[in-house]
Amino acid sequence: MANLAKLEDIVSLCKRRGFIFQSSEIYGGLASCYDYGPLGVELKNNVKKAWWKSVVHMHDNVVGLDCSILMHPLVWKASGHADKFADLIAECKSCNTRTRVDHLQNHAEEHTEHVNIDVELAATHDLSNKVCPKCGKVGNFTEPMPFKLMFETQMGANVDDSMTLYLRPETAQGIFANFKNVIDTTRVKIPFGIAQIGKSFRNEVTTKAFTFRTREFEQAEMEFFCEPGTDENWYEFWKEQRFNWYTELGIKKDNLRFRDHDPDELAHYAKACVDVEYKFPFGSGDWQELEGVANRTDFDLRQHQRGMRTLNSWYEQKGDLTQIQLKDEAEDYNKGPLSYFDEQAKKRFIPYVIEPSAGIDRSTLAFLVDAYDEEEVKGETRNLLRFHPALAPTKVAVFPLVKKDGMPDIAHNICKELKKYFTCFYDQAGAIGRRYRRQDEAGTPFCITVDGQTKEDNTVTVRDRDSMEQKRVSTDQLLNYLRDKLEI
């Protein structure tokens, strides 16, 4: 990338070109919320399409799903989010710095990430010998406070009998909740995957860095179910698949890397986890996570079997999640309702799960930043977005060289015909060079120009965004030529 040294430059580019706007901007904005403009929505949709094609359509054993954002509250009791999806934080009274309790020095023995809220609220914490990492003061902390990271909402317009629900903090649980449905209806056999793209919500303690960490965000997740013992191989398989996806769509290899999680960094459900990180031109350490690939073991399906057994107590407590405890696992949990029967081996088991979980907003931003380029052309700076054709918001622009001699009509007809196959933009305003440069900034791979020669021999020029080179192509061959170049 060139000269996008700061986040402000990216924000400015996104606004200027209609990729991303601040939400509710005319009202002064709403923290952590962003809108995708005309070019942005095309780009983001293309990112999702590319993910879906790569993860679902290119694999015989992966199917898709689109489930509701609101789910039965017990889903979140079983998954652990209702009780544990919170961070325990204490504030230093001297310097007002908030620090996770387990990050306080001399305190490594107690693991307080994803704590049990009720237990922590009741418990007393002795922080008298803990050191503030910022100012060095000892034992001068507020009582630790857990932050609930799930959004709550009400279902039912009548206040008296409405039910508290959560906006999902991840799409994954909707997949686990539909595991049985998919098994029963689609003839899939293990190993197989279920993929989903959709919005998730987390009440982050702090949001920041533009669309990088927002409270409302879009995930692309796939749960790949496999036999225990084969999970480590599949972990490696998907790790590689996912990394290559980014580079095949144009992310420069130098800007992408894996980062393995340390054992003590792993979430409560994970056996292994690796991040795919992109070197963003902002933030403290530059490298920021785009995607996590995790080995979730059989944790989630087993938890939901417990959740299913808990349904009666939930009714008895009139839906008050805080009053119930998840039922223990059955002794033969391996034969439970969410188990899988292997016909060949005549064996029943709870599958292990490998989960690639990508942030769509994050990768969209990364593709945008990575595609940005500036170059010198005859003493002028040319700004362009070198999008992979699959991601480019507009694939082709069509111009008449000048707006006379019937050129606009011919160009209009070509544009109309091409629109059947891919996004196509017509422009006749201003000098031809200016129109080329406008498309460069939008990342359009090809520009087609109708000129005086077109009427004589039925050819047009096709101008390449990256090289600025032009070729004459017959209008009969134009569609094939472009499809070949665009790989569509």
Question: Distances in Å between the alpha carbon of 241 and those of 24, 54, 223, 245, 276?
Answer: 38, 9, 14, 6, 11
Residues 180, 304: Cα–Cα separation, whole Å = 11
Q: How far is the CB of 227 from RNA (least distance, A)?
A: 25
28 touching RNA, by CB under 7 A:
yes
Which one among 361, 367, 390, 442 touches RNA, defined by CB under 7 A? 361
80 touching RNA, by CB under 7 A:
no
Radius of gyration of the chain (CA): 27
Q: Which two tokens stand for residue 344?
A: 């060949």
Which one among 71, 267, 308, 321 touches RNA, defined by CB under 7 A? 267
3-state secondary structure of 428: coil
Q: Which two tokens stand for residue 225?
A: 């179910």
Q: State which of positions 431-450 bind RNA (CB under 7 A).
A: 431-434, 436-438, 440-441, 449
Q: How far is the CB of 415 from RNA (least distance, A)?
A: 15
- Specify the length of the chain in residues: 488
Q: How far is the CB of 379 from RNA (least distance, A)?
A: 9
Output 108 or 377, the one with its CB closest to RNA. 377
Q: How far is the CB of 89 from RNA (least distance, A)?
A: 6
Cβ atoms of 424 and 395 within 8 Å: the answer is yes
Output 297 or 310, the one with its CB closest to RNA. 297
Element (H, E) at 367: helix 360-371
Which one among 136, 228, 337, 430 touches RNA, defined by CB under 7 A? 430
Give the x/- contact pattern for RNA in 175-214, rule: CB under 7 A: ---------------------------x-xxxxxxx--xx
Q: Looking at residue 210, what DSSP letter applies? A: T
Output 339 or 394, the one with its CB closest to RNA. 394
Q: State which of positions 396-425 bind RNA (CB under 7 A).
A: 401-405, 407
Kindly give the interhelix angle for 38-52 and 360-371, rounded to the nearest 10 degrees.
110
298 touching RNA, by CB under 7 A:
no
Question: Distances in Å between the alpha carbon of 240 and those of 99, 257, 434?
Answer: 35, 11, 42
Q: Which two tokens stand for residue 236?
A: 């490696």
Q: State which of positions 363-392 bind RNA (CB under 7 A).
A: 377-378, 380-383
- Helical residues (DSSP H) of 26-86, grouped into ranges: 38-52, 73-79, 81-84
Q: How far is the CB of 124 from RNA (least distance, A)?
A: 21
Burial of 34 (0-12, 13-18, 19+ CB in 10 A): buried
Which one among 362, 370, 385, 443 touches RNA, defined by CB under 7 A? 362
Output 97 or 423, the one with its CB closest to RNA. 97
Output 158 or 284, the one with its CB closest to RNA. 284
Residues 22, 34: Cα–Cα separation, whole Å = 5
Output 79 or 339, the one with its CB closest to RNA. 79
Q: How far is the CB of 340 from RNA (least distance, A)?
A: 25
Output 284 or 344, the one with its CB closest to RNA. 284
Residues 99, 126: Cα–Cα separation, whole Å = 15
Q: State which of positions 300-329 bind RNA (CB under 7 A).
A: none
Q: State which of positions 125-184 bind RNA (CB under 7 A).
A: 133-134, 170
* Closest among 262, 457, 266, 466 to 382, alpha carbons compared: 466
Stretch that binds RNA, among 64-72, 277-285, 306-314, 325-333 (CB under 7 A): 277-285
Output 42 or 440, the one with its CB closest to RNA. 440
469 touching RNA, by CB under 7 A:
yes
5 touching RNA, by CB under 7 A:
no
456 touching RNA, by CB under 7 A:
no
Residues 402, 321: Cα–Cα separation, whole Å = 69
Q: How far is the CB of 172 from RNA (least distance, A)?
A: 9
Q: How far is the CB of 170 from RNA (least distance, A)?
A: 7
Residues 1, 369: Cα–Cα separation, whole Å = 7
Number of residues that bind RNA (CB under 7 A): 89
Bond from prior residue into 263 cis (ω within 30 degrees of 0): no
Q: Which two tokens stand for residue 103?
A: 């990050």
Q: How far is the CB of 465 from RNA (least distance, A)?
A: 9
Q: Which residues pair with 225 in a beta bridge?
A: 192, 353
